[in-house]
């Protein structure tokens, strides 16, 4: 389908998985290593299709497991390549050690993780527990809301990962099933426009890479203060990633006409007494409920987390300041902590953002829909909390029929 006005982009109706594959292909990776897993498989099928047609010129490595996928792309990145891989759930768990190697060696790997419930109870269904379980892997973690944003975030991910001031691998997350198989309207930019967007990466100082004949080695032992120094640098780079992502998002908006707000998206939060904090595909549904509530005169808003690691503490503190009630929706659980994982992190900021009640909502586990009704329930509870009524700290919304 050709866009009528813009020759620089094609309007297509494609799934979230296809959008991820288009995003990767447009960035012209050198090496792509992949292993199939539901609901990610379509991403890699699409990439092999692109390679077969010649649309993608990359070394394609159909590895024998996710662990190898991550190792192949990390090493290829060390050898100077732009790389891509994709996974989900158990696959993410299986590559965990290699993910640590990628971030520890500061390999600018870009990966798509299609969120799915994680090991323990087998579930071929959506949930963010996989992303949460790699929280401390030293990766930058982004979360997309819809098909278009998946494609756009993959482009932004390369800008972030390969930024000489960052050099940290980036994981783009999107809900399995809800987005992986959702076919919607996506504007697919031309390769030319994408390479213009990425061109700035070619103008920065070269990072160290492995080449025959050069006496450089990567993966050296960090001994005592040497180890401390590298950890400190990594943590500092993660901090820099926050502002960098905001700036990249702004630049993206000016070049492609789509801006998302950087680390967080604020939706009708201006005068809102009650604010929900959420991430991923459920935010679309939440926005429709917010609109409805606004029509009824209820001052509610949504803060959408687009960046999970580094955690946008400053932005959240700012936007949550002096609200009457804040609800955090987690599509995952916290084992041995009160409430969801994102909730507990928002709580850690509550001393800074003021005296609002903060409630935890666990919803959408294992493909239990985060329905409009659920969102209404949450807002009702928050209204009660805002009025000072006692409310449960944690509500498993998805457990109630």
Partner 1 sequence: MIEVRFHGRGGQGAVMASRIMANAFVRIGQYGASFPMFGFERRGAPVTAFGRFDANPVREKTQIYHPDIVVVLDPSQRFFEKVYSGLKSHAVLVLNAALPFETQPHENLETAGIVNADQISIEEVGRALPNTCMLGAFAATTGHLPLESLEAALEDYFQGSRLKANVRCLRRGYEEAAVGHF
Partner 2 sequence: MTEKKKKLSKVFDYLQYDDPYAGGLTFCAGCPLESLARFVPQVLGDDIVITGTPSCSAPVLLGQNIGTWHRMPYYGTLMTGAAANATGLARMYKRKGIKNTVVCFNGDGTASDIGFGNLSGAAERNEPFIYICYDNEGYMNTGIQRSSTTPAGARTTTSPVGRMTHGKDVTSKNLPLLMAMHKVPYAATATMSYLEDLAKKLLKAKEKKEEGFCYLHVFCPCPTGWGVPTDGSLDLCRMAVKTNFFPLWEAENGEIRFTREVNKPKPIGEYTKLIKKFEHLDEQGVARLQKDVDFNHSILMRLSGSCEQGGRHD
Partner 3 sequence: MAPHTYFQGEGPWSDADQLMLYLDTGSWRSLRPVVDAEACIYCGLCALFCPTQCMINKGEYFLPNLEFCKGCGVCAKECPRGAIIMKPEGECDASKE
Residues engaged in binding partner 3 (CB under 8 A): 104-107, 167, 207-208, 215-222, 225-226, 228-230, 232-234, 237
Helix axes 282-295, 372-386, angle to 10 degrees: 60
Identity of the residue, 1 or 223, whose beta carbon is nearer to partner 2 in the bound complex: 223
Q: Nearest to residue 29, comparing CAs of 201, 271, 181, 215?
A: 201
Rounded Cα distance, 158 and 111, in Å:
10
State yes or no: cis peptide before 39, omega within 30 of 0: yes
Identity of the residue, 32 or 186, whose beta carbon is nearer to partner 2 in the bound complex: 32
Q: Nearest to residue 86, comparing CAs of 101, 66, 72, 71?
A: 66
Q: Nearest to residue 365, comparing CAs of 176, 132, 126, 180?
A: 126
Which of partner 1, partner 2, partner 3, none has residue 228 at its interface (CB below 5 to 8 Å by kind)?
partner 3
Rounded Cα distance, 19 and 254, in Å:
21
Q: Is 231 in the site for partner 2 (CB under 8 A)?
A: no
Which of partner 1, partner 3, partner 2, none has residue 182 at its interface (CB below 5 to 8 Å by kind)?
partner 1
Going along 116-175, which residue ranges are E strands?
A: 140-143, 170-175
Identity of the residue, 217 or 390, whose beta carbon is nearer to partner 3 in the bound complex: 217
Which of partner 2, partner 3, partner 1, none has residue 372 at its interface (CB below 5 to 8 Å by kind)?
partner 1
Q: Nearest to residue 365, comparing CAs of 334, 337, 386, 319?
A: 334
Q: Nearest to residue 367, comparing CAs of 38, 108, 128, 44?
A: 128
Number of residues that bind partner 2 (CB under 8 A): 43
Q: Is 89 in the site for partner 1 (CB under 8 A)?
A: no
Q: Which of 6, 45, 49, 59 binds partner 2 (CB under 8 A)?
A: 59
Interacting residue ranges for partner 1, rule: CB under 8 A = 1, 11-13, 15, 124-126, 146, 175, 177-179, 181-185, 281-282, 284-285, 287-288, 367, 369-372
Interacting residue ranges for partner 2, rule: CB under 8 A = 30-31, 33, 59, 61-65, 67-81, 83, 97-98, 101, 210-223, 226
């Amino acid at each position: 389908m050709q866009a009528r006005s813009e020759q620089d982009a094609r309007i297509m109706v494609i799934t979230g998985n296809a959008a991820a594959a288009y995003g990767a292909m447009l960035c012209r990776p050198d090496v792509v290593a992949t292993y199939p897993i539901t609901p990610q498989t379509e991403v890699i099928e699409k990439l092999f299709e692109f390679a077969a047609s010649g649309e993608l010129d990359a070394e394609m490595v159909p590895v024998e497991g996710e662990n190898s996928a991550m190792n192949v792309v990390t090493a290829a990145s060390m050898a100077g390549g732009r790389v891509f891989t994709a996974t989900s759930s158990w696959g993410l768990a299986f590559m965990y050690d290699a993910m640590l190697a990628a971030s520890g060696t500061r390999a600018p790997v870009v990966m798509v993780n299609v969120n799915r419930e994680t090991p323990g109870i087998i579930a071929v269904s959506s949930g963010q527990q996989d992303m949460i379980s790699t929280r401390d892997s030293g990766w930058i973690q982004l979360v997309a809301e819809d098909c278009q944003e998946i494609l756009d975030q993959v482009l932004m991910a390369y800008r972030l990962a390969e930024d000489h001031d960052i050099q940290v691998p980036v994981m783009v997350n999107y809900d399995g099933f809800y987005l992986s198989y959702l076919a919607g309207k996506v504007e697919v930019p031309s390769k030319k426009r994408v390479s213009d967007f990425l061109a700035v990466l070619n103008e920065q100082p070269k990072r160290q890479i492995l080449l025959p004949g050069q006496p450089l080695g990567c993966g050296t032992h960090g001994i005592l203060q040497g180890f401390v120094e590298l950890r400190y640098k990594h943590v500092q780079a993660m901090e820099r990633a926050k502002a960098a992502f905001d700036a990249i998002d702004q630049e993206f908006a000016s070049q492609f006409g789509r801006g998302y707000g950087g680390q967080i998206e604020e939706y009708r939060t201006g005068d809102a007494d009650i604010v929900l904090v959420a991430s991923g595909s459920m935010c679309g549904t939440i926005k429709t409920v917010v609109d409805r509530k606004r029509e009824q005169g209820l001052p509610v808003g949504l803060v959408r987390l687009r960046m999970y690691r580094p955690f946008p503490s400053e932005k959240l503190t700012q936007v949550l300041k002096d609200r009457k009630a804040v609800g955090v929706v987690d599509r995952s659980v916290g084992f041995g902590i009160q409430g969801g994982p994102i909730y507990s992190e928002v709580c850690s900021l509550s001393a800074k953002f003021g005296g609002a009640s903060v409630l935890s909502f666990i919803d959408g586990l294992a493909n239990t829909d985060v329905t409009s009704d659920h969102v209404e329930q949450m807002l009702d509870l928050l209204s009660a909390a805002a009025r000072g009524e006692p409310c449960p700290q944690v509500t498993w919304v998805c457990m109630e029929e």
